[in-house]
Structure 1
Amino acid sequence: MGLNDRITAFSELGKFLSQFKNTGYEKISNIKFNEDFFDGMIQKIESAKHHNGWFTEENIMFSLSQWSKTLTKDSLEKWSSSYSLDHIKPKTVGIIMAGNIPLVGFHDFISVLISGHNVLVKQSSNDNQLLPYLASYLIAIEPRFKKRISFTEERFDHFDAIIATGSNNTARYFEHYFGNKPNIIRKNRNSIAVLTGNESKEQLEALGEDIFRYYGLGCRSVSKLMVPEGYDFDLFFKSMYAYNDIINGAKYANNYDYNKAVYLMSNFKLLENGFLMLKEDKSYGSPIATLFYETYTSKEKLLQKLEADKEAIQCIVGDNFSANSIDFGTTQHPSLSDYADNVDVIEFLTKID
C-alpha cells in the first residue's frame, strides 16, 4: 500500500466525517459505504455522550467537524510531502492515548498510519467509543489497513516504538517502562493568552472559544491569562458573557461550586461572574471553571519568562505577541503540522530502526 493509497483512504474518511456537524447530521448520498456506517456513527456519538459526561454532543460534533476539514486530499498531500515516506520499513508503533477530549489521540493515529507503520492503540477508558469505529470505516475503504491497525486493553508486549500521552506522574511510569525503545512521552501542558488591554471585544469573545471549548480540558485550552499590571477585567468579563450557558451543564456547575467554595474557605481573592472565576496564581494549569492570571511589567520580561517555562506551555494566544503566538479563537483549529509539544511525530517515525 503506497502513500497515495493511504492519503486516499484518509481523505474518504474526511468526507464521511463531513456529515457530522455542529448544526446536526446531514447524510450525503455519494459517501462511500455510507449505508453501512452512517447510522452506526450516530449510535457511537450517542454512546460517547453517555460514556463520558464531559463529551457533550456539541463538543463531539465540533471535533468530528474539525477533522473533516483537516482530512482533505490537498491537506494530506501537503503535510506528507515534507517527509520521505516512500521507503519506510513498517514497524509497530504503540500509542497510549489520553482521554480528556474527544479523539484526542487521533493525530498520532493518523501520523503512524500515513507514514507507513502499523499502529497498536491503547485507549483511555474515557474516550474509547469513536476511534475503533472510525478505524473500521478506514478498513472498509482500504482493506489493507486491517493488518496495520490493532487495539488492546492489555499491557504492550510487541512494539518497536511508543507514543504516550499522560500527566507528569504517568510520564515517569512511561519513561521507566518504555525508555529502552524509541519514544515520544508527553507530560502536562497548558495554553495561555497574553493580553495587553488593547484587545477588541471581538478578539476577547474569540478568546472565550479558546477558554471554554471542551470545558477547558484540552492542552490547547487557555487556562491562564498574562495581563499587564493594573489590567481592567471589565471588558474581558463582558466579552465572556456570550458563553454563560456553560454553567447549565451539571458537571461544569458542580466544579464551579466546589472550586469556589474551596477558594472562599481559603480566603483567596477571586474575580468571578457566575460561571468563570479568575484567580491570581503562578501555576499554568487551572481547575475547571477557573482561569488563573498573572501580571507582567514588560513584554521583554514576559518573553523571557515564557521561554524559561516553555516545557509547560502548549500554545500562546495573542495579537501578534511573538513569532510563535497564534490568533485568538484558533487554539482548537490545529493543522496537521501543528504537533503536540512541538515534537514532529512524522520526523520521529521516519527514524525508527
Structure 2
Amino acid sequence: MTLDARIDAFSKLGFSLQNYIDSPDSSSNFSQKLTNVLRNAELQNAWFTQDQIHSALEDWSKTLTQDQLSKWLQPYTLGDYTKQRVAVVMAGNIPLVGFHDFLSVLITGHHFIGKLSSNDSLLVPFLAEELIAIEPEFKSKIEFTKEKLPEFDAVIATGSNNTARYFEYYFKDKPHIIRKNRNSAAILDGTESKEDLEALGHDVFKYFGLGCRNVSKLFVPETYDFDNFFKAMFGYKDLINHHKYANNYDYNKAVYLMSSVKLLDNGFLLLKEDEKFSSPIGVLFYETYTDEMQLKARLLEEQQNIQCIVGQRSLSAVDFGQAQHPGLADYADGVDTIKFLIENN
C-alpha cells in the first residue's frame, strides 16, 4: 500500500466522521453503528459522556483531511525503512487519546498492535474496522489485544509515572517511547479579556480536566484578582451535575477544609495555591510570580512535567482555548513520533 493510499483512506475516515458530526441521527449504517458504540463507551466509562466523545470525534474529523495529513508528513522521508510490528500501550483517560499513535504507526506503513485500556476499549477498534472497510489492505496491519502483547519490534507506551518505571524496565531491550504524567499550565497577567478567560475555561474543563493538555495550574501576578476569572468560568457550572465530577469536587473540598487549607470556591471549582502541577479533579492549582524572568526560570525547572503552556505571553506556546486542539505535529511530551517510527528500525 502506498503512502498516498494510506492518506486517502484516513481522509475518507475523516469524511465519514464529519458526516456523522453534521447528521448524527442519519440512518446510514456507519452512523447507526457509531451511535451504538458511543452509548456503550459511556456505559463502560462514565467520564466518556456523549458530548465529550462527540467533541473528540469532531476534532479528528477536522484533522483527518488529505491537506492536513500531507502537510504533516511532508518534512519526513517515508518508505525507505523496514516495516515493523509496533506495539502501542494505550491510555484511557480521555476519548480516543490513543488515536494519534494508531494513525502514526499505520500512516508510516508499520504493523499496529494495540494494547487497549479497559477505560477506552471500544472507540479506536471501531474506527479501525471502518478504516479496514475503506481500505481492506489495512486488515493485515492492525491487531488489538487486552492480554499480553504478542511479538513486537518497537513500542510506544503511555501511563502514570509509576507504570512508566515498569515500562522502562520491561521494554528496555526494544526501541521505545515511554510517556509519563504531564500537566498543562496557563499564564495570566490580568490584562486578559472576558473572551480569553472563557476560552481558558475550555482548556480547564474539557474532558473534565482529565487530559495531559488540560490546564491544571495557573501562574498569576501576586496582586491578581480572581473575580473576572470566576465570572468567565460560570458557563461551565453544569459540570457539577455530572456525578463523578461532583463526587471528586465534594471529596477534595472536604479533605482540604478538614486540613484548614485556604481555598477559593465558586461552587464547582476549587482554587488552591500550590506549587505542584497535577491538581485533583475539580481543583485548579495556582502560583504567583513577580516578574517574567522569575517565571521563565520556574517553567524551565518544571519543563519535564509540562505538556503545554497556554496564554498570551512570549512564554506561552498555545492560545487560550486551544490546549485540547493539538495539531498533528504537536507530539505528546515533545517526542516526534513519526521520526521515531522511521528511524528506529
TM class by smaller structure: over 0.9
Q: Report the counterpart of residue 117 of structure 1 in structure 2.
A: 110
Q: Report the counterpart of residue 336 of structure 1 in structure 2.
A: 328
Q: Report the counterpart of residue 72 of structure 1 in structure 2.
A: 65
Q: Report the counterpart of residue 310 of structure 1 in structure 2.
A: 303
| 226, 248, 252: which one aligns with 1:255 | 248
Q: Report the counterpart of residue 25 of structure 1 in structure 2.
A: 24
Q: Report the counterpart of residue 286 of structure 2 in structure 1.
A: 293
The percent identity for this pair of structures is 58
TM-score by length of 2: 0.98
- Secondary structure of the 1:238 match is helix
Give deviations 1:176-234, integer Å, cap 9, x for gaps.
10011000000000000000011111100000000000000000000010011121101
The reply to whether residue 188 of structure 1 matches residue 181 of structure 2 is: yes
Distance in 1 separating the partners of 2:307 and 2:325? 14
Q: What count of residue pairs does the alignment treat as equivalent?
A: 345
- Secondary structure of the 2:15 match is helix
Give deviations 1:277-308, integer Å, cap 9, x for gaps.
00001110000000000111111111111012
Is the 1:88–1:116 contact (alpha carbons within 8 Å) kept by the matching residues of 2? Answer: no
Q: In the alignment, residue 325 of structure 2 is paired with which amino acid? A: H
Q: In the alignment, residue 146 of structure 2 is paired with which amino acid? A: E
Is the 1:93–1:159 contact (alpha carbons within 8 Å) kept by the matching residues of 2? Answer: yes
Distance in 1 separating the partners of 2:319 and 2:56? 19
Map 1:164-183 onto structure 2 (within 5 A).
Answer: 164-183=157-176
Q: Report the counterpart of residue 3 of structure 2 in structure 1.
A: 3
CA drift of 1:88 comes to 3.0
CA drift of 1:138 comes to 0.4
Q: Report the counterpart of residue 12 of structure 2 in structure 1.
A: 12
Is the 1:320–1:326 contact (alpha carbons within 8 Å) kept by the matching residues of 2? Answer: no
Map 1:1-353 onto structure 2 (within 5 A).
Answer: 1-21=1-21, 25=24, 27=26, 35-322=28-315, 325-353=317-345
- Name stretches of at least 5 consecutive residues in structure 1 with no aligned partner: 28-33
CA drift of 1:26 comes to 5.4
CA drift of 1:150 comes to 0.5
Is the 2:25–2:31 contact (alpha carbons within 8 Å) kept by the matching residues of 1? Answer: no
TM-score by length of 1: 0.96
CA RMSD in angstroms, aligned pairs only: 1.2
- Name stretches of at least 5 consecutive residues in structure 2 with no aligned partner: none
CA drift of 1:24 comes to 6.1
Would you identify which runs of 4 or more consecutive aligned residues in structure 1 move more than 4 Å? none
Q: Report the counterpart of residue 30 of structure 1 in structure 2.
A: none
Distance in 1 separating the partners of 2:14 and 2:217? 33
- Secondary structure of the 1:18 match is helix
CA drift of 1:335 comes to 0.8
Is the 1:14–1:68 contact (alpha carbons within 8 Å) kept by the matching residues of 2? Answer: yes
Distance in 1 separating the partners of 2:247 and 2:40? 23
Distance in 2 separating the partners of 1:113 and 1:8? 12
